[in-house]
Structure 1
Amino acid sequence: MKTYKSKWFNVKYRAERSIEDEIERESKSDIKTVVISYMIMFFYIAIALGRVRNLKNILIDMKVSLGIAGVILVALSVWASIGIFSYMRIPTTLIIFEVIPFLVLAVGVDNIFILTQSIQRDRRLINEDVESQIGRIVGRVGPAMLLTSVSESIAFFLGALTPMPAVRLFSLYAGMSVLIDFLLQITIFISLITLDQKRTIQNRFDIFYCIKISNKNNHEHNRWKWFKKNSKNNNINSLETTTPITIEENKIDDDNTHEIDGFLYRIFKYNYAPFIMNDYIRPLVIFIFFTWLATSIALIPYVKIGLEQNITMAKDSYMIEYFSALKQYLAVGPPVYFIIKPGINYANITASNMICSSAGCSSQSIANQLGIASLYPAETRISQIGTTWLDDYYDWLRHRGSTPCCRLYENTREFCSTNSVSHKNCHVCTRSTTRENITQEEFQEYLPFFLKDNPNIKCAKGGHAAHGSSVNLYRNQSIETSLIMGYHSLLISSNDFIDAMQQAYSLTSNITNTLKNSGYDIEVFPYSIFYVFYEQYLTIWHDAFMNLAISATAIFIVTFILLGLDIISAFIITLTIAMITCDMIGMMYLWNIELNAISLVNLVMSVGISLEFCAHICRDFLLSSHRSRLKRAEHALAYMGSSVFSGITLTKIGGIVVLGFSHSQLFHIFYFRMFICIVSFGAAHGLIFLPVLLSYIGPSPNRIRMSRSESIQLQKEISLTVTS
């Protein structure tokens, strides 16, 4: 059809699989864009993990190999998830390949940055080997990794309870991928970090491990000088070294440790955190974010549902011309079939009067109600109703004229069609001229002949062409089910299709109730070819809120348990995630993003990524030894906020921006716009709102940790007194 041309007319065409084929073609056309997006994120991870002290040590301090290893583990977790569910014969979808790598990369990279930067900020104790140091650090940050990974996995697995297939499959694959990624990170990646730390201590180049430079500028030597500088006596004995060093190891926020602390951490500690925790800024932050939340909640009812077909098409697709011609020229919509389920005796004249539309039929019959609905196409979305097979069948049976329609051969009792060459020995099926006089035996015996009789000039009522597929018969020739065909009005947008389907369901529900009130316990339901695609939208709001509520509840329960039964922290984390989700839905209205399976998957994913922005900072707030909420929130924002910012926000922003240059409208709307909102809203709530909220209503400090901190401080004072 692409090459067909005529000077008389133009042909616009489509097939039943056209939309699916064009979506697949469009997705393949943007593979380069997606690859570039992920390459930018991988490149940033490989570069940003390192902390370069000077140009001379750049090949030692960079951690390209560690970053590549972390990314490989993320990829392995996704492929392992696909392999497991493929073995279980659970299918995959295109959304899984497009969204899950983004999700797992966000979760995995966050853990990678937190682990790596915690080691970089740590001071290895004298006589402490690398393995012990790594074990001590994992003991400090590992529980937070466990918290986020387990919470997300359980939330996703519970999200698989939704009846929507796309969301259910995504939840299964996402939960398994996050869980496997955590297991790989807590085992393989920690081993790789240990080896990388030994490489750094030995002054070996990254990637080229066999190359080693002079040891005189060793970072460990600089650390040793730091210990000597902070000691009162260069003649270090066990009392003068062990206690102060143990204390200082726990004190990361010292002013003389810029060589250990990174540039971003210093910005967060000395500039950003004090600014956010200002007495005038904090109330303003609370006001802005809750106003934002209220506005988003008010916008939620106005979010459109559906997926416009032209959005899913490439700009050069033949379907664009088809949709344009459909809107411009077509005056009728797709056919709709009203199916009558088993339970009624069509041969009974009283029962048949509740179906037909000719003279003598009930005014409340199925055909008459459908006919009345077609008089108001703007409201009912029903343009016209065809003649029912039952009316045509009665006319066919009673047809007289020069040649009756229903005739039988005298000897064989076989059907004698008006299309036959010979009409000898043919006689009329029935002498009845009214519907009431046709017996039930005659009705059932001659019905198969009607359904196979081709219409012609002599008998236009032959039912093969118009009604050959309208009746389904049992083996004994009685009727099992039947249908009445009609047409929807012209449908263009997703709202038109959804409204047409809703109106059809409402109409058949009223018809079913009318039949039951008349004593016929049968059901009538509608079907059109597009229903299978749009039926999900009838319950999508319910499915969305149920899925998000289940995920939030799971996160609340898991964080409550893993944070030591701290209900306040669990509530704060869940509240922040709920605010991010509401703000996401509100932005969908402002940015013209429709609610459908793709956007719902992104919303479910945003719950998991939002937890990464919140959980680490909240847990660090709990572990802080400061007495006031304000100082603890400031410490958590500086120490953990910088890792979250560099681990998720900066990693994702670069890759997401590339998606904005995609030629695909589908990618631009549902991936670029939604992904940029997920990251920016998560960062705003996790790095601005959450610390401020913790400074107001955060849980009280841990008494055991406070006692331990006071004991260490007292021990330090005694040590300083002895050394002086």
Structure 2
Amino acid sequence: MAAFCFFLFVFCLFFKNLFIFFVFLFFFLHTKNRTWRLKDLCYSPSFPSFDIQYIDQIFENIFPCAIITPLDCFWEGSKLLGPDFPVTVPMLGSGIRWTNLHPQRLLESMKSFNFNFPFDTLDDFMKRAGITSAYQEKPCLDPTDPECPLSAPNKNLTQSPDIGAELTGGCYGFATKFMHWPEDLVVGGTKKNKTGHIVKAEALQSILQLMGEKDMYEYWSQTYRVHNLEWSQEKAADILHAWQRKFTQEVLRHAASSNETKNYKMHPFSSASLANIMTEFSELSIVRVAVGYILMLVYAAVSLVNWANPVRSQSGLGIAGVLLVAITVAAGLGFCALIGIVFNASTTQIVPFLALGLGVDNMFLLTHTYAHSWDQHYRRYGDHTGEILKRSGVSILLSSVSNACAFFAAAIIPIPALRAFSLQAGILVLFNLATLLLVFPAIMSLDMKRRVANRVDLLCCLAGVVSIGSSDCEADAPKVTSVQPAAPVELKKMDRCGKAAPGCSTPTLTKKAPVTISSAVQQGNVAAGDCEADPALDPLIHGVAPTAAVECQTWTLSKFARHSYGRLLLKTPVKVLGMVAFIVLLAASVWGMSKVKNGLDLTDIVPHQTSEYSFLAAHDKYFGFYNMYAVTQGNFEYPNNQRLLYEYHDAFTRVSTIIKNDDGGLPEFWLSLFRDWLIGLQRAFDRDQASGCINQERWFANASDDAILAYKLLVQTGHVDNPIDKSLVGQVRLVDGDGIINPKAFYNYLTAWVTNDALAYSASQTSLRPQPRQWYHNAGDVELKIPKSQPIIYAQLPFYLNNLGSTEEITDMIEQVRGICKKFEDRGLPNFPAGIPFTFWEQYLKLRFFLFLALACVLVAIFLVLCVSLMSIWAATVAVFVLAAMVLQLFGVMGLLGIKLSAAPAVILIMAVGVGVDFTIHILVGFVTSIGARNRRTQMSLELMMAPVVHGAISTLLSIVMLAFSDFDFIVKYFFYVLSALVLLGLVNGLFFLPILLSIVGPPAEVIPANGEDRIATPTPMPSPCMERCSRRGGDSNGAGLRSQSESGSNSNNNNNNNNPSVTYVPRRLRGSDLSLTTITEEPPSWTSSHEIVVQPEVVVETTTCNGNGNCNSSSGSDCNSSSSSSSSSSSSGSSPPMSVTTTHGRQHFTTKVTATAKVKVEVHAPISHSSMEPSYYKHRRRRDGGQ
């Protein structure tokens, strides 16, 4: 169907020129070896066949295309009907066109020539269709037109008619009974006077109806025109689309070039152009996807680069992660296609970007954890990888499972396209989860090998070089340390939480001597964000704040969260303001949510600056007109339930928006037209039977054609084995007194009606299925048998709707119609409504119900997942509360942006729960796994998780930023704006409101110290192992690159000098705590000590570093620990002799002289029995032996 909408300012001038544009209706479309006219493609009313070839040819040429236009109110409407070439009628001459055709007078002229032709049948057909004078008695817009007929009411008045009065009530085509165009269909923006006549209008609309591709294929399939075209339904569709495109172009070209129409706006629209737009809408933009993924690659590379220390840079890891996510998305979409999930516009336009953003979020969390847990002392790469997954794997699993639950819950909404989108997105989230937890750790292990090998990131062939003046606090080259004169040194890096971390070296001396000292030696290099000693965190390590701290030089998010943001956020005034702002935001969101209306404008899915957009905008403004069908189905006895069908049709009278006829009733439908035709035949039979022209056995030559046809129908029994029974004549009637068609022969009568009253059947728009059989009546044919059609399984009743300008009005109409359909469904009539309003707007009837149901399901699912994983109902409740608040806030933002609630925003609201988990679960997990009071745990959680949360938000924004460049406002408005608002709300809630809420009502920590302090009590160290056995093992077999260069020399000296205490490496797993020292005064024969001594040292270290040039630098620092209570204590102090530590960093050699003075406080604990320690020892022994 092609339609036009014109803005109207001046009635007369516009109507005088309106028909000019319809000249383009008669252009030709040239295809391969064929030329196609409008007449070849349009829908044309059917006419009866008379089995006379030249007569049928005349009717075929003169019957015009069906054009709905306001010009049909005037004689000028005849100029649109043609025909292209004037028709010649024998004995009446040539030159017959609709501009001069008076059908009734033509029929009378033909009768006067006594042609051997069934004029009565033709006359009856014309009367039933309302074909009388056609356009000859309608007023002329231009009475001075030479072709204006003399019968026109204003021909001699030489003045234009009252156009408003003529348009009032609508217009009629040449067949007035079947061609009534309602006023609301052709005139828009009207203003009427007190009498109801139109005095002003702003828009006019004309509609041209074309054949469907299937109808066109069937119409031409048996003709010569398509013999050499490889004719198919697809070929017919191509021709229809090409004609519509060319027609639209011609109208726009003429409108732009004509001076007569420069003051008017013309908007051509065709179903082909809309189909092309939707096809383009559904196509995957390779360029847009490529640019989006390249942006993500660039961001990952730049955000993870470390210019100061290329060895510790993670750009290569980030690029590999983005590529991995991209491959995973492609694999996931392939899997969706494999299992039969249909791809649609949302799949191609949104899913690739959304899946990229969600996948990269988790990748950034893994790289962040990797950077903050780097320690070369892991003996196997798998140990370090396992540590990374232990720290961040739970958060990734929770966020991904929550996202998947959200998407799968969104599939509850019963809209196929959005259900496919939800399922695809959920599957892609699970695919990303699998690859990030299984494949990406393997990539990190390869990166660990690169680091240990001291290779530059991205340029692995280059070795890393670290200078003393670097801002990084760790030399990435393997360190070789020698301690003189006493013992080998194991160098360990300690982070602020007491675990191994890059940046700070801690020589640990374990000797058979009265005192063992553990001290932190500050190196000359400081890595950004790795070695800060925070007063709020050091008590967890040392028990008291250090007297000196190592300050890094580079600004990082972690440092910002620790030193600035976290402290500011936890101040009481900020908390109060934050909670007040949170409450105000929720109240504003409730108000905004009340402003959200259901609906989706068609203009949102069409690009601006197109004729289609202009047409749809004008249609929405001026024409709230739609058509609908009430469809009845099979498994229903139509012949025996005719009364129910009439009641069903009449029930729609109560729908206020359905256009009624002039009498206030509904237009006729197929069964009433069928009945009226049979009643006419019955009357003709009764007349001829009364006059003796026909009896029970036969008819005579003077019988009318209608009476003969009625006789043939009356003798039908409806039984295939005995189809004819003449005794029925006079016993049965075609239609009884109650208006019920004879049910036994119902389908025989139907065959005759569809073929012999074709115009009424086509005007009914019933589209019976299966299609009734063909049978043409010939009065000279004595054959009485009429074929029986198949039982009806599909029939439709057409209705016109008006005054549907808003979604609320349309949904009210849908509810009324659905109520009628449900009522008759319960009475046994299978039926349903169909049409554009039901296709596009019925989703809004229960959309909010399904939305809230899906939200409830996903929130409950996330609550259960968090309860099981965190083992805390309290924590799960806080998380679900924040997520629900985010959904409410997003709902309010939609109201402020003027976005209507449709299926797409509903899915995003459900998806907001899953996406919000990424912004909340990391902070929550960091909070519950920290130790101390709520404020302290909140600050620690921000310090650890702020960086990955911010990176995840930025990556999500980058992944959807390409949506902003879409040509479709629907994508920009309903996806980019809403998703961007979701990310911003997630940041605000995750990094501002949630931390404040946790600091006030946060759940308890997973581990709570027994003494209630912000640290775990120092554990009792493991007993010293058998020294002889350790001596035989030769210390640490691995050394992780830290074995002393002079190990052999030291061992030799120790063996030769019994006066010196023997020094051996103690395996790390056999030391109870890195912060504890064991002083053993006497070694009993058994390996189990009778006493346990815990040492907390205060170490003052003075260092002198000399390079190869003889330049020396001095530095000093202190580290102290104290204990608030002990069962019994003693203090000792002493000093160690000057030690010379030689450290080799790559190719550079430095000599460091260390002088240390220690004050030691000792706690003595209860003795440990041999039986209780022996299993533990053998356990560690097995682990130690297994690692060798």
Task: State TM-score, norm by structure 1.
Answer: 0.81
Equivalent of 1:133, from 384, 397, 417? 384
Aligned residues: 685
Paired with 1:424 and 1:158, the residues of 2 have a C-alpha distance of: 63
Equivalent of 2:1018, from 711, 714, 717? 711
Change (3 A) 1:548 1:104: same
Paired with 1:131 and 1:528, the residues of 2 have a C-alpha distance of: 62
Equivalent of 1:537, from 831, 839, 844? 844
Partner of 1:48: 303
User: 1:549 Cα shift?
Assistant: 1.6
List runs of 5+ in structure 1 lacking aligned partners.
246-250, 357-364, 457-461
Paired with 1:13 and 1:413, the residues of 2 have a C-alpha distance of: 57
Q: Which has the higher helix share?
A: 1
Partner of 2:1064: none
Partner of 2:744: 441
Equivalent of 2:533, from 254, 264, 274? 254
Change (3 A) 1:307 1:721: same
Paired with 1:389 and 1:621, the residues of 2 have a C-alpha distance of: 72
Equivalent of 1:196, from 418, 435, 447? 447
Change (3 A) 1:657 1:389: closer
Partner of 2:395: 144
Q: Secondary structure in 2 aligned to 1:699?
A: coil
The answer to whether the 8 Å contact 1:333/1:490 transfers is no
Paired with 2:347 and 2:712, the residues of 1 have a C-alpha distance of: 66
Q: Secondary structure in 2 aligned to 1:526?
A: strand
Q: Secondary structure in 2 aligned to 1:173?
A: helix
Q: Percent identity?
A: 24
Partner of 1:528: 835
Q: Secondary structure in 1 aligned to 2:832?
A: strand
User: 1:318 Cα shift?
Assistant: 3.5
Partner of 1:367: 649
Partner of 2:1097: 720
List runs of 5+ in structure 2 lacking aligned partners.
1-246, 482-490, 496-502, 522-529, 535-548, 715-728, 773-787, 1020-1072, 1078-1093, 1100-1156, 1159-1188
The answer to whether the 8 Å contact 1:385/1:487 transfers is no
Q: Deviations over 1:115-171 (max 9, x none)?
A: 222232336265756553343233222222222223333443454455332343233
Partner of 1:676: 980
User: 1:48 Cα shift?
Assistant: 0.5
Partner of 1:14: 270
Q: Secondary structure in 1 aligned to 2:600?
A: coil
The answer to whether the aligner puts 1:39 opposite 2:312 as a matched pair is no
Trace 1:8-407 onto structure 2 (pairs within 5 A).
12-15=268-271, 18-26=273-281, 32=287, 35-53=290-308, 57=309, 59-122=310-373, 124=375, 126=377, 131-214=382-465, 220-221=474-475, 237-238=509-510, 254-255=533-534, 256=549, 258-259=551-552, 263-324=556-617, 326-327=619-620, 332-339=625-632, 343=636, 346-347=639-640, 352-356=642-646, 365-373=647-655, 377=658, 385-399=666-680
Q: Secondary structure in 1 aligned to 2:459?
A: coil
The answer to whether the 8 Å contact 2:770/2:790 transfers is no
Partner of 2:1001: 697
Partner of 1:503: 816
Structure with greater Cα Rg: 2
Change (3 A) 1:305 1:632: same
The answer to whether the 8 Å contact 2:904/2:974 transfers is yes
Q: Deviations over 1:284-334 (max 9, x none)?
A: 212221332233234434322232111111124332243245357757422
The answer to whether the aligner puts 1:469 opposite 2:748 as a matched pair is no
Q: Secondary structure in 1 aligned to 2:456?
A: coil
The answer to whether the 8 Å contact 2:311/2:464 transfers is no
The answer to whether the 8 Å contact 1:65/1:207 transfers is yes
Q: Which has the higher strand share?
A: 2
Equivalent residue letter for 1:715 = S
Partner of 1:566: 872
User: 1:562 Cα shift?
Assistant: 1.1
Equivalent of 1:597, from 888, 893, 903? 903
Partner of 1:362: none
Equivalent residue letter for 1:539 = K
The answer to whether the 8 Å contact 2:659/2:800 transfers is no
Partner of 1:581: 887
Paired with 2:752 and 2:389, the residues of 1 have a C-alpha distance of: 81
Q: Secondary structure in 1 aligned to 2:270?
A: coil
The answer to whether the 8 Å contact 1:121/1:252 transfers is no
Partner of 1:554: 861
The answer to whether the 8 Å contact 2:605/2:969 transfers is yes
Q: Secondary structure in 2 aligned to 1:337?
A: strand
Change (3 A) 1:387 1:556: same
Q: Deviations over 1:373-427 (max 9, x none)?
A: 35x6599xxx98320333322321221699669999999999x9x9989979977
Equivalent residue letter for 1:683 = L
Paired with 2:396 and 2:926, the residues of 1 have a C-alpha distance of: 12
Q: Give the RMSD, CA atoms, in angstroms.
A: 4.4
User: 1:198 Cα shift?
Assistant: 3.5
Q: Secondary structure in 1 aligned to 2:566?
A: helix
Partner of 1:248: none
User: 1:227 Cα shift?
Assistant: 6.7
Paired with 2:507 and 2:399, the residues of 1 have a C-alpha distance of: 46
Paired with 2:295 and 2:836, the residues of 1 have a C-alpha distance of: 43
Q: Secondary structure in 1 aligned to 2:757?
A: coil
Paired with 1:576 and 1:659, the residues of 2 have a C-alpha distance of: 28
The answer to whether the 8 Å contact 1:160/1:167 transfers is yes
The answer to whether the 8 Å contact 2:670/2:766 transfers is no
Equivalent residue letter for 1:190 = P
The answer to whether the 8 Å contact 1:389/1:470 transfers is no
Paired with 1:229 and 1:560, the residues of 2 have a C-alpha distance of: 33
Paired with 2:862 and 2:563, the residues of 1 have a C-alpha distance of: 33
